[in-house]
Amino acid sequence: MPDALRKPIIHLINGFMNENGGSEQEALHIARLLRDRSDLTLWSPSSRCSPELARRHGIRRIGLGLGAGHRPNGGTFVFVGSHWRNKLWPYLCRAPQRLIYVFNTFHPKLLALTATHPPMLRWPRTEYVFISDFQKTLLGVDGEVQPSPIDIAQFSPADGQHPANARPVIGRLSRDTLDKHDLEDIALYRAWAGEGADIRLQGATALRAAAEDALADAPAIRISPEGAVPAVDFLRGLDVFYYRTGAHVETFGRVVLEAMACGLPVVCHRRGGYAEWIRHGENGFLFDTTDEARRLVGALLADRALRVSIGEAARRTVESIYSDDALRARADFYLRSAK
């Protein structure tokens, strides 16, 4: 087959350990963008790769056996939230023509690990894909900027309708780790519950443990573990999406864009990559202080028409970010030949 007609060979590498993990979801979304336009193989270098994910998506474990079929070989290597350092397998395969890291953290140590390679590998220059200008600026490294992919056909308003809950519902979801939560939010949740709202927090059992008894006597506050309800179903049951993290800094914050895609008004702390897409007062709200957060959510609770108009603008924003033309242009980056 002439080279011009041959599909690019792409090896997409991720741990694929947690079905609800942001890194895993990002890798799978990239795979969907590239599958029809490339010769694509998904790989996991981890012994903790999820058997269910491997079965469902045809993910292969990287091994040290004889023959090229046990590991990525040539073509383009795309690492998503993973890296190759301290592994033997890279020394046993043909060098890639392109080397791409989808860099979704702020950790300078990982940046240093991926920036250079031992000369004997003869790997090409590292190309970075960052998931927000916010992240790229803080790291001070050149690279492509692409928002994390989202399936906006799946994440959409329920039947085109807005929730009609008897009591307005404020909610958020995340990984179930304490660094994903700000302890000042405990008082906010209690206050909003006292003002007539229901609070649903998925992925917040770590917060409940840290709160000791502060959330125990609040029946309007419902806390569930990570993944208890599929994300799209959870979001469709809300009237307002609220988000602030603790020690963890969101380089992108896919869940915020998923909430916007579901037609929800979002109220989010300004620190995070998602803030680039929120126009305060038009398609969502940004805050710096706890008092600002309480006031903004209070205004939405009191005005259903405002919730609807902001949510509709949020949906339009996400549709523009993830239009077919925009997604195809982002996929083109991975499909380019080596320079």
| Assigned CATH for 3-149+323-335 | 3.40.50.11090
Specify the domain boundaries for CATH 3.40.50.2000 within the chain: 158-321
- CB-based contact 264:240 (threshold 8 Å): yes
Question: CA torsion angle for 210, 212, 218, 223 (degrees, to 10)?
Answer: 40
Specify the domain boundaries for CATH 3.40.50.11090 within the chain: 3-149+323-335
Query: Helices marked H in the chain — which ranges?
Result: 22-34, 51-57, 108-115, 133-139, 185-194, 205-211, 231-236, 254-261, 290-301, 304-321, 324-335
- Residues 43-64 as b/e (b if ≥16 CB within 10 A, e otherwise) read bbbeeebbeebeeeeebbebee
pLDDT tens, residue by residue, 163-182: 667 899 999 999 999 999 99
| Assigned CATH for 158-321 | 3.40.50.2000
pLDDT tens, residue by residue, 120-163: 888 999 999 998 999 999 888 999 999 988 889 999 998 755 56
- CB-based contact 270:244 (threshold 8 Å): no
The strand pairing partners of 222, in sequence order, are: 200
At 66, the pLDDT band (50, 70, 90 cuts) reads low
Entry pTM: 0.81
CB atoms within 10 A of CB 306: 14
CA 1 vs CA 6, 7, 67, 97, 217: distances in Å: 6, 10, 24, 19, 69
The strand pairing partners of 115, in sequence order, are: none
